[in-house]
Structures are given as structure tokens and as C-alpha cells.
Structure 1
Amino acid sequence: MHVELFALLQAGPLDAVLAPFYWLLSLWSKAMFGLYDATGLEFLQYQFMHRAILVGLCIGVMAPLIGTFLVHRQLALIGDALAHTAFAGVAVGLFLNGVFSLGVSPYLTAVVVAVIAALLIELISEATDAYNDVSMAIVLSTGFALGTVLISLNAGGLAVGINQYLFGNLSTVSAENAAILLVLFGIIVATIALTRNQLLYVTFDETAAAVSGISVTWYNRVMVMLTALVVVGAMQIMGVILVAAMLVVPVAGAAQVSKSFTQSLLVSVVLAELAVLLGIGLSYYGGATAGGVIVLVAVAIYTVSVIAGKLQERASDDSVPELGSIDSSDA
């Protein structure tokens, strides 16, 4: 393990920056090997599964953390738009590596392109007075078009490895990508912790937030940039096509059984983590694509949540006395 860490440190400046996170990954692998010794679960003996599980757990926190704000803002589809632009960012990285041999991580270029796209969505909406769905559609089509053009220009070098970014792949979560995800995770959680009250105010009443002195434009941009980071992080195992589901489905399920924003936030994280862990396990033993299985599990959990919410609502209605049975003299 120490030899592997030393080799990573010698690889380049990015690896030197990510060294503390490589150390955390090595500790995580030790814990997973210990869990394998205790449980005998087959998939816990592989390091690539250790990284996939860690990435999945981080996604299970990040996605609903941001998705809860997006759903209440009726911006559920922004994740899909940014996923397609993140795909363009991956294509940019692969193109630069294939043509110029730069050795840059496609996930880093995806982060840069997705953040730029997130800001463009806000700027187009502000500059043209267009609805958010119009600016999202423009950015989505532009990003996907850019990605397809770059792939076609160097089809031999790009087409071979592009499927893992479209559909996700557990076995391709490298140590570098997992370390980058941990950095994104830290940025997202810290930002939400510091700006939660302002984001909540802007989410439910932009006019009142502006009157109270909160910069609505700034916090809207913070939210879309955080969404871009979540999309790129989740793309590793979810793929471009399915990544938006983790921003929406667990949140929608939590809304069926929650009575407050905070409760909805916590429940959505629990539901997302459950979907990720069950999905990764089922995909490994079933030999299926992890992203698809995770989404199917999340939708199944959503269905159960809807049923539970209806039963809870019915029980609540049954417990309320009929109007005719209330004696007005007691008022």
C-alpha cells in the first residue's frame, strides 16, 4: 500500500496535490478489507469496488443535498443539461490527450466545462429574459453537439473509451478520479453548510431575499455551480445519461413522507444511500450496469415512498374528527 502511494506521488503535480486523499483512500481500502474478513462478501475483496462504494456513498450525500434545493426551485432538469455539457468536458479532455498528449484528467476538464455551462445557463436567462428551461435547452444541445464533434474528429482515439462516461462503470473508478470526487464532496458539503440559510431563503422567496439584502443572483450562481460539481462527480458510476436521476428521484421520494424541508433533506440522503448501496451490490452480482440498477432501485424506493405517504395521509385523515361531530359550544 505504501509503495502504491509513493508511486502516485511520483506521477505528477496533480497526484502530489491529491496525496492526502490517496492516503484516505488507502485507509478506506484497509477498512473494506477488514469488512471482507468479517463478512466474506466477495465484492469487498477488490480495490476498484472499494473506490466505487466510496464514490457511491459520496454521491448519496451530494446529489440529494443539492437536488432538494433544485426540486423546490422547479429546476429538476438542470442536472440533465449539465450532464450533457459534462460529457462535452470529458470529450475535451480525451481530445487534448489524444491529439496533444497532455495527460490531463477528463474529469477535471469535465468540471471546468460543466461549471462554465452552469454559469452560461444563468447568464443567458438573465441577459435575454428567457425562462430557465430555454437556457438549459440551449446549453444542453450545445454541450452535447461539442462532445459529438470532438469525438468524430478523433474517432479512433475517443470512441473506444467513451461508453464508460455515457453509462458509468464501477471498474473504471480510478484512484485519481475517486480523489477528485472527495475534493468535490468537501467543497459541496462545506458550501452548503455555510450558505444553507441564504440558499433556503432564495429558494422559497427570491423577492423577500432580495429585499433583505441577499444577493439572489450570486446565490443562484452558487447553486448551479454546485450542481455542476455533483453531476461530474456522479458521472463516474452513473454515466451522463442517468446522472440527473440521483438529483431528483430520492428527493421526490423523501417529499412523500417528510413534513419539513430539513426532514426532507435528511430522508432524501437516506433513500439515496440505500439506492446506491443496493444498486452497486445488485449490479456486481448480476453483471449489469451500475448506473441503471441504481436508478431502478431508486425508482422502486420512490414507489414505496409514495405508497407510504398515501397511507400516512389516509391515517391522518381518519384520525381527524368529522366537522359535524365538533360541538361549537366548546370553541
Structure 2
Amino acid sequence: MSRGLVTPLQTGPLELLLAPLYWFLQLWSGFVYWIGQMTGFELLQYGFMHRAILVGLCIGVMAPLIGTFLVHRQLALIGDALAHTGFAGVAVGLFLNAVLDLGVSPYLTAVVVAMIAALFIELISEATDAYNDVSMAIVLSTGFALGTTLISINAGGLAVGVNQFLFGNLATVSQDSAAILLALFVIVIGVVGLTRNQLLYVTFDETAAAVSGISVSWYNRIMVMLTAMVVVGAMQIMGVILVAAMLVVPVAGASQVSRSFNESLLVSVVLAELAVILGIAVSYYAEATAGGVIVLIAVTVYSLAVVVGKLQSRLVADSNPEMGSIEAGEID
């Protein structure tokens, strides 16, 4: 059953702020339902699938957009660290709801906790001169330990439904969580659009960027916070365990067939969207976990991209044969 338009009498300040996004969700649901009526696809007849598809489409853009920068900066594993701290954020939200009856969305607390954790990854690296993988390991362990501790307390049935956050679930993409995802999508796209040149400079040459007056540490923090937003948004259908794959696998596949950064970015988005759409459809009809199916399809697409990349390289080599050596006797 669709949700009505948000009014001041129905909701609190957060939902009033997200009111335009609720309105957009209604328009989207009507549009997808109409497509379902025209095509006869059963999965397009249900409201939860409308939200799941929209969330998947947004993830298919956000994840490779940020993942392309991360892969080139050799930070591919940061997604795992922030996913586990995002799980801790979910546990914090569930705990607060159970103990204080706040009624806050667990995904909102996950965003806050994951962004704080992202900043700690950078601060630990800067303060201790430790490698990034060390700070990521510390934050990952701390985040998951906090989450499991709060879950084990089991205040008010806290452990109920945890699997949906670990493995993702199409049916549990609520109107509130979809609206939060849309807000994160707008923020991520907007910030990357405004800071793209600086992020590129810092990604490929931090030293030169610092010499030119760019605050490298500031843009590093922006990148990890954007990553936290993407990870929490993708956690809805991918789950904590698999969410990092969407940051890395499409980008890795695109790098096999692309010749420039911009081309790699575009191709990675196409590959991610292909994996998401096929994954959601297959998981619905096969009654399988969406996150697992999406990742399996993404890895399959990556394998095909590797083959295509090898064929491209061979064709280029064949079309540009090396000049044979000139024998001394051939020179007059």
C-alpha cells in the first residue's frame, strides 16, 4: 500500500525535510506500476519492488562513481571497513529504538556512524603515520565488535531481523529507507560534480596536488565520507557482507576494456546497472538473496570484460605489427 503525501500533522522534522523525496517515490511507483501493466511483468506489480529497483538503480550509479576513485587510490577494501561500521550504526539505531523508543530509522544512524568511522580512518592514518589498511582494519574490527555487542544484549528483541542487514532483503526496502537513499544519492552526485577535478588531482598525484595548494587531507576526508554514504545506501539490498563488491567489481571490469578515466567511469556504471537489474529480477523469480545474485552476476560480467579486454589487446597488436629487424646485408 502506497504512502500518502507527507504533511506536518503526520510526521516529524526529518520526514518534512524528505517530503519531496516521498513525493518522487510515489511518482516513480506509479510509473513502474504502469510499465508492469503494459509489459505483464509480475515483479513490477508490487510497491516494495518499485522501491528496490529505484534503490538498485541509484546504487548502480553511486557505487562505481566512488569506486573508480577508490580503486585508483588502492583503497578497494575501505568498503568492507565502512560496511561493518554501518552494521554497528544499524545496531545503535535498533538499540536506541528498543531502549528509548526514539523511532529513528536504523539506516539514518548507520549513515552517521559510518561517516564518523570514515573520518576516524583518515585521522588514525594521519595521527599515527600508519598505512591505510591498518586504520581500516582497526575501524572494521571496532565497528563489528560494537554491532555484535549491542545485538547480543538483545534489548527488546534487538536480534530480530538482523539477517536483513547482513545479507540484504528486497522486501524490507521501506519508504523511509528509500527516501534516505535518494537523499544520499543527491549528495554524492552533487559533491562529486563540484569537486571532481580536485578529487582527480589528489587521486593520481597527491604530492603535486599539495604543492598546487589543494588540501589533500580535506579531499581525502570528503572521499571517505562519500564512500560511507554509498556503503550504507547499498547495504539495503546488498547487505553488510557483500556491499563492498559493488564498489570494486564493476570498476575492475571497466578497467579491462576502457582507455581513459572517464570511459572507465561510464563503463563501470553500465556494468553495475546491468548487474543490479538482472540480479534483482533473477533473485525475485528464483526466491534467492538479492545481494548474492547481484554480486555473482557482477563477477560474471567482470569475467566477460576480461575476455573482451584480452581480445581487444590482441586485435590492436595484430593491427600494429612490430617492424621486423633489418638485416645488415639488405643495406647497400
Aligned to 1:11, the other structure's residue is in SS state coil
Residue in structure 1 matched with residue 57 of structure 2 by the alignment? 57
Q: Secondary structure at the match of 1:10?
A: coil
Amino acid in structure 2 at the alignment position of 1:296 = L
Q: Which amino acid aligns with 1:137?
A: A
Q: How does 1:1-16 map to 2 (within 5 A)?
A: 4-6=4-6, 10-16=10-16
Higher mean C-alpha displacement, 181-190 vs 158-167? 158-167
Structure 2 counterparts to residues 120-199 of structure 1, below 5 A = 120-154=120-154, 157-199=157-199
Alignment of 1:79-90 (within 5 A): 79-90=79-90
Local SS of the residue matching 1:142: helix
Following TM superposition, by how much is the alpha carbon of 1:4 offset from its aligned partner in structure 2, in angstroms? 2.1
Aligned-partner residue type, residue 43 of structure 2: F
User: In the TM superposition, what whole-angstrom CA distance separates every residue of 1:208-243 from its partner, at most 9, and x where no partner exists?
Assistant: 000111100000000000000000000000000000
- CA drift of 1:7 comes to 7.2
Work out whether residues 87 and 144 of structure 1, in 8 Å CA contact, stay in contact via their aligned partners in 2: yes
The 1:152–1:8 alpha-carbon spacing in structure 2 relative to 1, beyond 3 Å, is farther
Question: 1:9, 1:16 within 8 Å by CA — same for their partners in 2?
Answer: no
Q: How does 1:1-331 map to 2 (within 5 A)?
A: 4-6=4-6, 10-154=10-154, 157-324=157-324
Letter in 1 for 2:238: M
- The amino acid that maps onto 2:13 is P
Q: Tell me, yes or no, if the aligned pair for 1:124 and 1:130 is still in contact at 8 Å.
A: yes
Task: Specify whether residues 6 and 198 from structure 1 end up closer, same or farther in structure 2 by C-alpha distance, changes over 3 A only.
Answer: closer
Output one character per residue of 1:170-227: Cα deviation in whole Å (capped at 9) or x when no partner.
Answer: 0000001000000000000000000000000000000000011110000000000000
8 Å contact from structure 1 (residues 9, 19) kept in 2: no
Report how many aligned residue pairs link the two structures.
329
Contact 1:118 1:228 in 2 (8 A): yes
| Residue type of the alignment partner of 1:306 | V
Q: Give 1:13 deviation, angstroms.
A: 2.3
Range with bigger deviation, 315-324 or 136-145 = 315-324
Counterpart AA for 2:162: I
**Cα gap change, 1:214 to 1:315, in 2 (>3 Å):** same
Cα pair distance change 1:243/1:3, threshold 3 Å: closer
**Cα distance in 2, alignment partners of residues 29 and 194 from structure 1:** 30
Q: Please tell me the residue identity of whatever aligns with 1:146.
A: L
Moved over 6 A (4+): none
The aligned amino acid for 2:198 is Q
Letter in 1 for 2:204: F
* Identity score, percent: 77
Change (3 A) 1:326 1:81: farther
Task: For structure 1, list consecutive stretches of 5 or more residues without a partner in the other structure.
Answer: none
- 1 CA distance for matches of 2:264 and 2:276? 18
The CA distance in 2 between the partners of 1:9 and 1:291, in whole Å, is: 37
Evaluate the alpha carbon distance shift between residue 324 and residue 174 of structure 1 in structure 2; reply closer, same or farther with a 3 A threshold. same
Structure 2 CA distance for partners of 1:73 and 1:9, relative to 1, 3 Å: farther
Q: Larger % of helix: which?
A: 1
Letter in 1 for 2:80: D
Q: TM-score, normalised by structure 1?
A: 0.96
Q: Unaligned 5+ residue runs, structure 2?
A: 328-332
Task: Please say if residues 90 and 107 of structure 1, whose CA atoms lie closer than 8 Å, have aligned partners that are also in contact.
Answer: yes
Q: Can you list the C-alpha shifts for 1:291-311, whole angstroms capped at 9, x where unaligned? A: 000000000000000000000
Asked whether the equivalents of residues 170 and 290 of structure 1 are also in contact (C-alpha less than 8 Å), the reply is: yes
State the Cα distance separating 1:80 from its structure 2 match: 0.3
Q: CA RMSD in A?
A: 1.8
Report the residue type matching 2:49 in the other structure: M
Say whether the 8 Å CA contact 2:6–2:16 is kept in structure 1. no
- How far is 1:322 from its partner? 2.4
2:92 and 2:40 mapped to 1: Cα distance?
Answer: 42
Q: C-alpha deviations, 1:60-112, integer Å up to 9, x for none?
A: 00000000000000000000000000000000000000111111110110000
